[in-house]
Amino acid sequence: MEASKPKTPKGLKQAFFIKTFHWLNIISLLLMITSGLQIYNANPVFGGRGGWLFPSLVTLGGWLGGGRHWHFAAMWLFSLNLFAYGVYIFVTQRWQHRFVSSQDLKALQTSNNPKRKNYSWHRLAYTIIIPVLLISIVSGLGMYKPAQFHGIVWLFGNNWQTLRVFHFITVPTVIIFSLLHSALALKVGGDRLVKSIFVP
Amino acid sequence: MLKIPDRQLIINRRQLFKLSAFSGAAWLLNGCGTSLYSPQVQRIFEPLNQSIETKILNPTQPVPEFPISAIEPNALLINTFDQTPVLDPATFRLSIDGEVATPVALSMGELQKLPLTSMVIRHVCVEGWAAIVQWGGIRLRDLADLVQPSPQARYVYFQSADGYYESWDIASVLHPQTLMAYQKNGQPLAIENGAPLRLAAPIKLGYKLSKWVTKITFTSQLATEKGYWEDRGYEWFGGI
């Protein structure tokens, strides 16, 4: 008797490009955050000299110079991946149906179906994180080239501390988002949904 | 008849993927808290970033300045790599030499006869803090006019009294807001801020703005030593 090939579970497939964008986003965000915290420690946004420092375990680079090298390298992977994703969702018209919609918002308000509501929360979360990532890029560019990109600094009230706070706040935001996003995905689609985004 | 089972793959595609992902993560996590490969990363990416910041520098256009009311006197922190030299302004001479037609050595008296340029700009430190400060002094561009650098000169070295040294691209040196400053926030420059003369500019990070400058040298070649902090791993161009 022939050994039968194991059947792939029916249904849940994500586009190859989406899985790639998702993986690269995770890797590049890890590099950006750890190198960013290395930079943070050189002069904490909260408290300046004498402010609380992040433990070296969560930093990448070893010292300010090393943190900057990693940060200004990984920024290419992070931003180009995000922009390629942006192009992809427009070209494929994914934006029309894969992000939070008015029906989702309505369901959050009026639905009695917990599954429908969880699904809406899930879509809302992974939609909102996109502008958060864009804010991290724009505020980062403002701090990287404040003279040549003075227009960006102007957007943040021409205030250096405001710029720093916005840029830093995206870090706990992304971390909290990642936890909520993972929990929601697991709740909405179980192991199958989680596997579908990670496994080729 | 004995059935020989099909040879099984030692490791299937999904397992390989999982293994690679975990190995990669472990390798990277091992770097946390270390300077894992940052010199190599610098070697690959600094040229790319430098070519871009060179392009976005507008060598003749001033960057927007601030009103005097915006000055943040307490935000300008003091950093120095070593001691604070105390120079006698009466005997001080600024030497400008190298690949120039007429090298000079100027006293403070002679320097203060040259046109005074004042600007209120943001000083940005590589550490991450910034301060809005008024600087008054002589444009490097005006000093260059005095000595007439050769067309081959592409770099400028700055030597300081405490042993600190820096090198810049000539385009940034000749930018209209690059000054040899002797005035800060409406007062004569203090020794701890670099008196009698320091570099001031809104287009470069603070570590490139040498204090206690004694010599300016125009050159067509960068030496292996490019700057105190650059030789210890910071970026050379340092443009903002």
pLDDT over threshold 70, residue A79: yes
pLDDT over 70, % of chain A: 94
d(CA A64, CA A68): 6
Say how many C-beta atoms besides its own lie within 10 A of residue B163's C-beta: 12
Interface test with B, best of A54, A60, A196, A197 (most B CBs within 10 A): A60
Nearest CA in chain B to A164: B128
- Which tokens go with B107? 């006293």
For chain B, the structural domain boundaries read: 10-56, 61-232
Task: Check if the beta carbon of residue B139 is closer than 8 Å to that of residue B160.
Answer: no
Q: Which of B17, B128, B240 sits opposite A147 (nearest CB)?
A: B240
CA distance B216 to chain A (A): 25
Chain A's closest residue to B201, CA to CA, is A147
Q: Does domain B61-232 have CATH number 3.90.420.10?
A: yes
Q: What is the ipTM of this complex?
A: 0.90
Q: Dihedral (C-alpha) A115, A180, B14, B25: value to the nearest 10 degrees?
A: 180
Instruction: Write the pLDDT tens digit of every residue in A81-110.
Output: 999 999 999 999 999 999 999 999 999 999
Give A25 to chain B, closest Cα distance, Å.
14
Q: Tens digit of pLDDT for each residue in B87-146?
A: 999 999 999 999 999 999 999 999 999 999 999 999 999 999 999 999 999 999 999 999
Contacts of A31 in chain B (CB under 8 A): 28
pTM: 0.91
Contact between B36 and B223 under an 8 Å Cβ cutoff? The reply is no
Residue A153 and residue A160: Cα distance in Å, rounded?
8
Beta carbons of A148 and B56 less than 8 Å apart? yes
Cα–Cα dist A37/A58, whole Å = 7
Unique residue bearing structure tokens 């039968």: A4
| Burial class for A135, CB neighbours closer than 10 Å (0-12, 13-18, 19+) | middle
Say yes or no: A160 contacts chain B, CB-CB below 8 A: yes
Quick check: A69 and B39 CB within 8 A? yes
Q: Which of A3, A45, A148 sits opposite B6 (nearest CB)?
A: A3
